[in-house]
Amino acid sequence: MFLSLLKIDLGDNPDRPRPGRLWLRNLYRVHQRLCMAFPSASRKSDDEHFLKPFKPEDFAHGQVHVNRGKDAGFMFRVEPHPGGRVVILVQSAVRPDWDYAFHNAGHLLAVPWEVKSFDPCFAKGQHLRFRLVANPTKRFSRNSREKNGQAVAEKWVGKRVPVPTEQLYEWLARRAEPAGFSIVRDSTTVQPSYIYVNKTPNDKGHRLRSVRYDGTLRVTDPARFQETLVRGIGPGKAFGFGLLSVAPVNPSLSAEAT
């Protein structure tokens, strides 16, 4: 796998936005540009300098709308940093071609991108700091047909709806066990918010629940946890959700005798 870091040029004056600031306002466009880092062989040979109009079929073949694994797929997260800076973290199965993706849009970036290979190894009992921005939702089933105490109409069956705020921690905790880890509750924070997405200027768009989890986890099954890191957690990955990032904690907590 590969990790990429894209530092976005926001400019110094919020009242006079730079293109990078405007670009980040619509995550649909952000995802579209990131897809351009995975051009088909024919697209790159026929349009070496990216002069032709964007065509979705020319990009990200085998990288979008696929089950993410070691050979396919990518995820990203928009990451605010101190001082009003913003970076985009991208985890991809193959090395992205950022030179091609930003050949005609270098003005969006503050500095050149960074790319490094990423092949972590985990041990049972290991403690790690983690960050996850997720879209916690649930589906109504035919056996669960109430909403806010009211009977749910048939049109709601199968529909995704946001998980209530008081259930956000439990939403992640339930997914942790089959994903090969557990959460250290006392060290985990949950920050709910929303994002807005629209595909075209005339599209009214829609609102998506966005929740940032920061804390400490314990690896319970290294193989499953490795798969979770590759595949991500939850829906909405095209809008910057699901990427699980981890880092070491105090070495004295990093492993237990098992």
> Which pair of structure tokens corresponds to residue 209?
């629940």
Per residue in 22-33, is it b (16+ CB within 10 Å) or e — as a string? ebbebbeebbbb
Rounded to an integer, the average pLDDT of 185-204 is 81
- Per the listing, tokens 């990427």 go with 243
- In the prediction, which pLDDT does 195 show? 85
pTM of the model as a whole? 0.83
pLDDT band (50, 70, 90) for residue 258: very low
Question: CB burial class (10 A; 0-12, 13-18, 19+) of residue 106?
Answer: exposed
The predicted-structure confidence for 6-55, as pLDDT tens digits, reads as follows 999 887 776 776 788 888 888 888 999 999 999 988 898 999 889 888 88
- In the prediction, which pLDDT does 231 show? 92
Give the containing element (helix H, strand E) for 210. strand 206-219
- In the prediction, which pLDDT does 152 show? 53
What DSSP letter does each residue of 87-150 carry, written as one string? EEEEEESS---HHHHTTT-GGGBSS--EEEE------TT-EEEEEEEE--EEEB-TT--EETTE
Q: Residue 174's CB: how many other CB atoms inside 10 A?
A: 11
Nearest to 134 by CA among 20, 243, 253: 243
The yes-or-no verdict on residue 204 having pLDDT over 80 is no
- In the prediction, which pLDDT does 65 show? 64
Summary mean pLDDT of the chain: 84
Give the containing element (helix H, strand E) for 248. strand 244-248
Instruction: Report the distance separating Cα 176 and Cα 81, nearest Å.
Output: 27
The predicted-structure confidence for 41-97, as pLDDT tens digits, reads as follows 889 899 988 988 888 888 877 666 666 667 778 999 999 887 778 999 999 999 999
Instruction: Mention every residue, 6+ apart, whose C-beta is less than 8 A from residue 204.
Output: 198
The yes-or-no verdict on residue 140 having pLDDT over 70 is no
pLDDT band (50, 70, 90) for residue 211: very high
| Percent of the chain predicted with pLDDT > 90 | 47
- In the prediction, which pLDDT does 257 show? 31
Instruction: Report the distance separating Cα 32 and Cα 200, nearest Å.
Output: 12
